[in-house]
Amino acid sequence: MASDSKPSGAMLWGGRFTGGLDPLMVKYNESIYFDRVLYKQDVAGSIAFARSNAKAGIITQEEFEKLEQGLREVEKEWEAGTFTIVPGVDEDIFTANERRLGEIIGKNIAGKLHTGRSRNEQVVCDMRMWLRDELRQIEQHLINFLNVIAARAEQEIDYVMPGYTHLQRAQPIRWSHWMLSYGFAFASDLERLREVIKRVNRNPLGCGALAGNPFGIDRDMITKELGFDGLIWNSMAGVSDRDFVSETLQWGAMFMQHISRWAEDLIIYSTAEFGFVRLSDAYSTGSSLMPQKKNPDSLELLRGKSGRAFGHMAGLMMTQKGLPSTYNKDLQESIEPMLDHVKTVSDSIQIANGVLATLAVDGAKMKAALDPFMLATDVADYLVRKGVPFRETHHISGRCVAKSEETGIPMNELSFEQLKAIDSRFEEDIAEAFVYETSVERRSAKGGTSKSSVLEQIQVIKAAIGGQA
């Protein structure tokens, strides 16, 4: 790119231009200060492309070796933090690397690096490689998180707590059952992530600016060298496709929705009113005014950053919705949300993992929160087992609830005579319906909250972690 004091011919695209750029336009156009994160992928892609050009006879083997050596030197400078960006010249990582390469090995040979290649394909190749590697790390973070969920569910299977609908106490459940309810959402996220990675990991290099490569380069060789799973088969699609970014952001938005709801539950459960869990000091903060406060800031940030993740997705999709075919500079706006989204999601999984791994659980508080009214369905089920139609048992159980409220006697303490007066089909074994542990154990069908069902769910989660579900 050119500034007002430097001829535009100094830039990769400057030969056709005779005037200078507005200095603000220079800054507005450049992406070097965020896309420099792609330096390693750009070096790898450039070497693979140069190797293919050497195979095609477009450059000599000696020229390729000098290009590779120079590019490795450029990479070392980035890694050492000694690479110097030239403002107004290095508009992006691709321009910067080629400019520095020319300084190291000479412009004549460096000038051959870009033969047959467009920045349109170069940028998307670098993005795909970077994103593929980052998503594989996120995959491992998610596996680690799921392993903690499964381990805690197994270790703490005997804790019984209220289950909620509409945030009202509903039926007794196991604490492990609650953890696994989110565990299965995260396991689905893992399955979807693995599918996303497959579609990210496709090679666009060799597509040219839009029409393809004129020198017969071996795209399959490049694909293998760069670790891609396959090709982008249409050159026009190859340079314009940002679906792989959109899909990543869609995936991350859904994951963050799940993590936000998970965090919300734990925020509620950690209040003094509930007291089911207590966050470790490592994931809590205090108040600047109130010494007694222990705030669940880690969980609140997880909940808050979900909005950030949704914004990345919505913003990029809005940018793309009206674009004509092939490359348009609007697509530069796909890089920053991708970078920030990946960091946000990656950090969030690791924080969530840390929160859960260090969380203290108060089983006694959970048990104390159980209410006999939560067994009203068990009373109805008891009568069902006696042959009474459920619609009738539901009404009878409701009358038991009303009697408890009328007398102020907890439903499980109503006398057998009081229950018998409500319906003559009650027998003395009705007492079994008022045992919380019995209630959870009766939910033994696949997916229920009985111990056997929960242990089965843990095995299903473990299989999903290994990619077997």
Annotated catalytic sites, by residue?
166, 287
| Contact between residue 438 and residue 431 where contact means Cβ atoms under 8 Å apart | no
Dig out the tokens for 331 from the structure. 């697509």
State how far the Cα of 175 lies from the Cα of 17, in Å rounded to an integer: 68
Query: Which of 163, 357, 366, 175 minimizes the C-alpha distance to 279?
Result: 357
Which run of H or of E encompasses 374?
Answer: none
| Contact between residue 172 and residue 370 where contact means Cβ atoms under 8 Å apart | yes
Length of the chain: 469
Residue with tokens 């450049």: 30
Q: Is 469 helix (H, G, I), strand (E, B) or coil?
A: coil
Q: With the CA atoms of 458, 460, 466 and 468 taken in that order, what torsion angle do they form, in degrees rounded to the nearest 10?
A: 170
| Contact between residue 296 and residue 354 where contact means Cβ atoms under 8 Å apart | no
Q: Is 61 helix (H, G, I), strand (E, B) or coil?
A: helix
| Contact between residue 51 and residue 64 where contact means Cβ atoms under 8 Å apart | yes
